[in-house]
Structures are given as structure tokens and as C-alpha cells.
Structure 1
Amino acid sequence: MKLLKRSLLVILIILAIAFYYNYPKLNILAGYSAKNMASSVYLAGRTLAFTDSTDNNFSPINLTSDKINREEKSATGSAFGLLTRKAIYRDGLGCVLITDDFDTSKPFLVPHRAQPDMTTPYPYGNAPQKDTVFNSINYNQLNTAVNSIFNSVNKTRAVVVLYKDHIIAEKYDSGFTKDSKLLGWSMTKSITGTLVGILQCKGKINVYDKAPIEAWQNDDRKNITIHNLLQMNSGLEWDEDYNTISDVTKMLFLEKDVTATQINKPLVGKPNETWNYSSGTTNLLSGILRKQFTTHQEYLDFWYSALIDKIGMNSMVIEADMSGNYIGSSYAWATPRDWAKLGLLYLHNGDWNGTSIFDSDWVDYATTPTPTSDDWYGAQIWLNAGNRYPDVPKNMFSFNGYQGQNVFILPDQEMVIVRMGLTKNADINVFLKDIISSIKN
């Protein structure tokens, strides 16, 4: 009997130690599952069953179990029944992963939104576009190229192709339509960068100024500029790995204030000489944007009044953290058509149907290669200057996100191409090449 008790005690100790060391991993697993489920159900209008079988069905997230509570608009994710996390929906702010001490009864501010323009044809409004047949397009070849990326391996959910301000091809996977909101993941970074550009063009910020971070003023980090942050070339330490317990997963699934995580990191390189992709840096920029306004309400409104609603991306919602900061690195939801509008704004150098949103100089700045990025990155925008897509023009640039979210801007072809899915398995070089070649010279 004593031997049995001792054996049970040893087993309990081993289990306790295993739980202690795996607690952060369980916390992140349950957190990802709950947050993704809440946003999919309450923001995108999908079902629990659909989300579990598609968005949350990959390893190791598929080891968790989810529940939703429609009365309180929440979702919970459980990791092996050992640890449970909850995410809640807040109208206007989307969904947020909360901690046990978060006061769900406390009032919160929401952004003021403009009414959608339902009379002006797409893309400058939300009414049906005026269809145009272009003699310069081989539509059979175009549609073949679009269809080729929809399969069980590529897991594409949506493709929208714009040419000379008109949708010339559009396709959605089963369960999705032109009105479906899709998560852009890191394409959100390009929105954050654009908002900095709008303030720059209005003379309200100078990107070459030192970053206004008080904690950096007594060490070498004081030399980091906003420009360095935009280019992710600050020299700050950061680990961007979604498959482990890393800086980015801890920030997104454990922190109350996502704008502070990068602030606390030391220098591991020199500013302007050490490119390192960092979602923490973009959320730090979101925090810097907040400091430009006297009130929290002004900060919340600015993202929509200066850009999102101003160009009719009315479906878009930027989700906020527990501290009221927009999670500018990762959490913008919108229809593929609305994501295309952001690309179109850049294609037209900041001009939106005769209204200047930002100067053309900003496009030049944002698409200038960052030192040490191998011509792969600009200012919160990805580039093809290094010829990563060898059969695509080198001046193509794009907004890119996790699991294969893309908005490609092709100035020479007057095209914007949106592809959104669940994997990066697709051969994007061939996909883009085939679409481009469908336009006759």
C-alpha cells in the first residue's frame, strides 16, 4: 500500500512539473483557439463547427476544444481541460482575448464610423461596379490562372483581380462570398504604416525624428527613429515565430498592452543596419500613433476617418487589446474587395477618386528597400525589388499576412490582385505571372 501511495505521489509530482513547464504553451494554445473562434463567429459571422473544421484544425491548435456563449458574445478555448481562456466581442472593437481580472462590465470607447456609400459604383463606393469588357484581356487565360490556385493544397478562400479600377476576375471558395470578412493578419501592418504616412504628409509627424519612447532616453536605444521602426530596422531584439512560445505569440495571446512589448527589448544590433521582422515594432507604432492625439477617442476615430472609412473600406474592423490599443500588427478584418481598395489607393499614389489621402512621395518612401533586408522590405510593405518573384515586375509591392494573405500592387500593369487563404503553399510567382500574361500588350 505504501509503495502504491509513493508511486501515485511521484506521478502527481511529475504531472505537476510537466504542467508548470508547459503552462505558457497551454495558455497560448487555448488563447489562440478562443480568440480565433470569437472573431470568426461574432465578427465574420461563421459557425463554431465551420471554424473548428477549417481555421482551428491545424496542429497543435486542433488539440484544443472550443465553446461559444452567444448571450455574452464570448468564446472559450480549452487545452486538454487543464487550462481555459476566454475571448469576448465588443461592438466596434471586435474581439479581445481577456485575462481573469479583466472587468467586462466597464464601459469602453468605440470608434465613430461613417455610413457606407451605397450609390457610387465599386471601387469608389459600394454599389455594383459598371461592368467593362476589355479587349486587351484574354479572359479564358485569366480565369484559368485564378481557378488554378483554388485547391485542397493551396486552401485559397478568395481572389479579386482589379484592372484599371475594374474587377475583371473574382472567385470565392465554398462558404465565402464577396461580403465575407477575412482576417488580413500582417496586412494590418500596412494600414498602420499608412496612417503614419498620412500624419507625415500633413506635417504632424516627422518619421526621421527619434522615437518618442521615454524608456529609451538613457541608453543607446534613444537613437532609434520612427523611420527605423517603420522599416523594422531598429536593431531591437525580437523573435517572430508562430510555432513556439516566442515574443510574438506571448504578445498576441498573453499581454494586456501590445504596444509595450517591443519597448522592453534590448538592442542586439545597430539602428538602420539590422533588419528584423517584428510584429512588436508595428504595435509600438500603434502606441506612437496614440500619443499623437489628446484623447483616446481621437485615436480610435483617426484610423477610420483618415483612411478606412474615407476610402470606403466600411467592412473593415481593427481589433483592439485590453488597454484600448489597436493591434496594428495583426487584427484587421475586411472583405477581399475592401482589402483591394487599399491596394488601389497605393496604385494611384494616395489619390482616391480625386481626394488626396497621402502624397505620392509616401509611396516612394514606403517602397524604398530597407538596408539589410535584401530588397525585400520597405516601410511596412513587402517588395519585389530583390526579384523574389522572378517572373513578376521588380516594382511590384504587396501587403502580406500569415497563412497567405496578400494584396499585390502592379503599377506597370495597372493591377491590384488580392489572394486570401489558409496556407502559403501556393506558387505565387506562377499565379501572378499567369494573370499578368493574360493582359495583351
Structure 2
Amino acid sequence: MKRLGQLLALGLILALVSGIWVARGAMQVAVGYSAKQLCSAVFVSGLPEAFAKDRDIMPRMAILGPLLGSLEMDTNLADGLVSASLLGIHATAVHSAGRGCALHAPGTGVAPLAAPALAEAGPAVPDEWVAAVDAAFGEPESAEGARNTLALLVATNGDLLLEHYAAPVTDQTRLQGWSMNKSLMATWVGMQTQRGNIDPSQSLVSLLAGETDLPELDPRLTLLHLLQMESGLDFEEVYGPGSDVTRMLYTAPAMWKVPASSGQAYVPGEHFAYSSGDTVFASYLWQRSVEEPYEDWIAREFSGPLGIESLVAEADASGVQVGSSYAYLTARDWLQAGQLWLDAWHGRSALLSQSWLRASVAPRSSDPQGQYGRGFWLNTTGVAFEGLPDDLFYAGGNAGQYVVVIPQWEMVVVRLGLSDPGVDTGMHEFLRTLALRRGQGG
């Protein structure tokens, strides 16, 4: 009986320790997310602090339950710092010039960025589109959460057809694309490949020659495997306390080392598994290939030729661009990126080759559903948007970020927002409306 009591006591102690460990992990994610998102919203996007808290941070931190009231955030505009704390757990994000906000970076930062130059006013929403735009910005009935559409743009043949925003967002507001950064990263790797500065089919063991303190990697693993989400690395895209992706994004100073150290779960090229870790690792390899501050390369090679002035691609604390998640552009500049992808698909871009883009939007044998290519989501047999063209492809990101390219329509559609989990973003219905209008000759 005494032995049983000892075992029960030990079990209770282990359960308590486990619970504390899980709770600590949850709080680390909470303060990390809060500090990083508030910093980027205020210093990069130029959004009001209250808006960022009300529309982004607090709805996502509702998972804290009764602890939510103990979450504290502080913004220091002069020193470029945002801190968050929760029951003794702290995180700080630092805003630096050219690289946005980085979590856990040392030192102090700089004041908020100026807004991009004021653009000419876009076209008023045509009368025949008012109902569709109102529906896209409207809140769905009986939804548990908010749609929060912030920007909606449509261009055909390179001309802006309609443009609409929800205050306080304007055409000067840099907006986070979340995983649309993955499509940018695939583009930047493609550009470096064209220049002969990197061979994405080369073994990562060769690409990382000279790198110290690295775990053993499968010699068959390549950069293409990373971009195509078929690395086979033992990295899970599960968002929870202590998970691979939350540990990478909210606790690791050098994020790429988390997936690089995860080990091999599958043979490279045989198994599709969506992984921010794959793209973060790919970003490190791309950055090694540019041999200069990455923001300088982006400004000269990508933004400049496209006339993009707003792009801020944020780094982690080690200075590596977080290629999975942290690029900010105005809605119009996201549209410019989409136009590049459309032009490349048709073979009329000097910046990105048709062969690279077409390979990037071709389904992979590792993905039986045909839903993903190389940094882009696909619509193979209507897998993403039923009833829309099969050649449709798109950059997609958390909370309802879309840059949709429809080659046969010569169309690019941008939708940006802060949609709560599980809430219909309204994108499919809006695209169906576009299809209907085309059928009517509108």
C-alpha cells in the first residue's frame, strides 16, 4: 500500500512538472507572438497599436483563457522596442533599419518606418462590383470570429480594375503576407539559379560545405526538395506549445537550425508535408548565395525592376530572412509580385524565367492531391477553388492572405486580411463572382 502511495505521489509530481512545462511553452509562444506582431504592426506597417491588439493579437491569444488579462505589452517608439510579458515570461522585438522587427535580437532599434510614397488614387469600385466587394468585406453570418478583410485588388492585363480597403488600412500600409513569403523565396531562389549563383539540385551537404556545427544530413536532400515541401525532414507544422514550428518562430535565435537539426523522417522527394521549416532552411541557403546584405540584393534585383518601394523582409535574431512568414508589402506591391508571376508564366518577364515559374506551378508526384508546386499553391482539378481554371495558382498565407494568378484570364487578385481561424475569408465566392462576370462579358 505504501508502495502504491509512493507511485501515485510520483505520478502527481510528474504530471505537475509536465503541466508546468507545457504552460511555460504556451506562455513563451504567447509573449513571442505578441511582441513580434505588435512591433511589426507599429514600426513596419504603421498601424495603430490598438488596432493591432484588437484585430490580431488578442483574438489569437484568447487561447490563454483567464491568463489573457495578465498579458502585458509595452511599445518604446524612440528605441524601436516592443516587449511582452506574462507571469514572469518575457520577450522583446527590436526594429532595425531595412530588416523590420526581429524577436530576441540584442540592443535597441530605430523609430517607425515612413509610409511609402503616396500613390495616385485607384479606380472607384465600379457600380456593378459594389455588391461583390461589400460581400467580400462583410462579416459572414453566424461565424465564430471575424473575417476582417483589409484590402481587395483586381488587375487585368496589368491594369488595376478595382481597389478597396478597410480603415485604417490604405494603399500605403505595408501588410504581412505570412506564408506568401514562401512564394517570394521560391522566386528569389529562381532568380539566383538563373544567374548561376546557386544550383538548387545540388546536395545540401555540398551547398553547406564549410558550415560548422551541423547535424548529418541525407546526401540526397536538395534545395528543390525544401522549396517543394518534400524534404522528408522530421519537422511538423503543428502550432502548439513546444512544437517544432512554434519553437522555431518564437524561441530560436537562428531559426533555420531547428529544421536542419530535426533529422530525416522520409526519403527526400517521396513525401509531401507542408513545412515552414523547409522554407526557413531554404532561406538560409539562398542568403548564403547572395554574398551581400540580403535587403540590398532584394532592393536592386527584385524591388527596383518591379517598381516596388514598400517591401520589408524581416530577419531572425541571427540576421537570416524568415523566408516562411515575415514579408511586408503594400497591397499594390503584392499585386506587382503577382503580375511578375503572371508575366513569367507567359514567358514575357526578363526577371524570372518561364521555365522556372512553370516548374514552380506544376504538381509534384510527392503530393497526390496536386495542391502544391514549388512555393505556390495550385488548383489542379479544382482542388483549391472548385469551378475555377485549373491553371490558377496562388501565394497563400495565414489569416486569409492571397495573391491569386489566373493566366488564362490575364488576371491577378489580391486579398489581405486578419481572418480568425475557421472563418470563411470570402475568397472563393469572390473568385466565383469574377468568373460569372467574365461569362457575362463584364
Specify the TM-score bucket, using the shorter chain as the normaliser: 0.7 to 0.9
Determine whether 1:338 maps to 2:338. no
What's 1:233 paired with? 230
TM-aligned CA deviation for residue 351 of structure 1: 8.6
8 Å CA contact 1:33–1:61 kept in 2: the answer is no
What is the CA–CA distance in structure 2 between the aligned matches of 1:36 and 1:433, rounded to whole Å? 33
What is the CA–CA distance in structure 2 between the aligned matches of 1:130 and 1:71, rounded to whole Å? 34
What is the CA–CA distance in structure 2 between the aligned matches of 1:239 and 1:77, rounded to whole Å? 27
Determine whether 1:187 maps to 2:194. no
Mean Cα displacement is larger for which, 299-308 or 155-164? 299-308
What's 2:142 paired with? none
What's 2:364 paired with? 370
What's 1:123 paired with? none
Q: Which amino acid aligns with 2:32?
A: G
TM-aligned CA deviation for residue 213 of structure 1: 3.6
TM-aligned CA deviation for residue 129 of structure 1: 7.8
What is the CA–CA distance in structure 2 between the aligned matches of 1:165 and 1:357, rounded to whole Å? 16
Change (3 A) 1:57 1:129: closer
What is the CA–CA distance in structure 1 between the aligned matches of 2:303 and 2:336, rounded to whole Å? 9
TM-aligned CA deviation for residue 17 of structure 1: 7.3
Question: How many pairs align?
Answer: 403
8 Å CA contact 1:391–1:429 kept in 2: the answer is no
8 Å CA contact 2:36–2:92 kept in 1: the answer is yes
Determine whether 1:320 maps to 2:315. yes
8 Å CA contact 2:381–2:390 kept in 1: the answer is yes
TM-aligned CA deviation for residue 54 of structure 1: 1.1
Q: 2:101 aligns with which of 69, 92, 95?
A: 95
Change (3 A) 1:293 1:52: closer
SS in 1 for 2:150: strand
Deviations 1:297-333 (A, max 9, x none): 3x34212211123212211100111111111110001
SS in 1 for 2:344: coil
Q: Which amino acid aligns with 1:356?
A: A
8 Å CA contact 1:399–1:406 kept in 2: the answer is yes
What's 2:288 paired with? 291
SS in 2 for 1:168: strand
Change (3 A) 1:351 1:195: farther
SS in 1 for 2:352: coil
Change (3 A) 1:207 1:350: same
What is the CA–CA distance in structure 2 between the aligned matches of 1:61 and 1:338, rounded to whole Å? 35
Q: Which amino acid aligns with 1:421?
A: G
SS in 2 for 1:292: helix
What's 2:168 paired with? 175
What's 1:3 paired with? none
- Length-normalised TM-score, structure 1: 0.84
What is the CA–CA distance in structure 2 between the aligned matches of 1:277 and 1:263, rounded to whole Å? 15
What's 1:111 paired with? none
Q: Which amino acid aligns with 2:431?
A: L
SS in 1 for 2:306: coil
Q: 2:88 aligns with which of 66, 82, 98?
A: 82
Determine whether 1:41 maps to 2:34. no
8 Å CA contact 1:350–1:357 kept in 2: the answer is no
Determine whether 1:128 maps to 2:125. no
8 Å CA contact 1:165–1:344 kept in 2: the answer is yes
Q: Which runs of 5+ in 2 are unaligned?
A: 1-12, 111-115, 140-145
What is the CA–CA distance in structure 1 between the aligned matches of 2:382 and 2:122, rounded to whole Å? 35
TM-aligned CA deviation for residue 71 of structure 1: 2.2
SS in 2 for 1:325: coil
Q: Which runs of 5+ in 1 are unaligned?
A: 1-11, 109-115, 119-125
Determine whether 1:253 maps to 2:269. no
Q: Percent identity?
A: 28
C-alpha RMSD of the superposition: 2.9
What's 1:429 paired with? 428
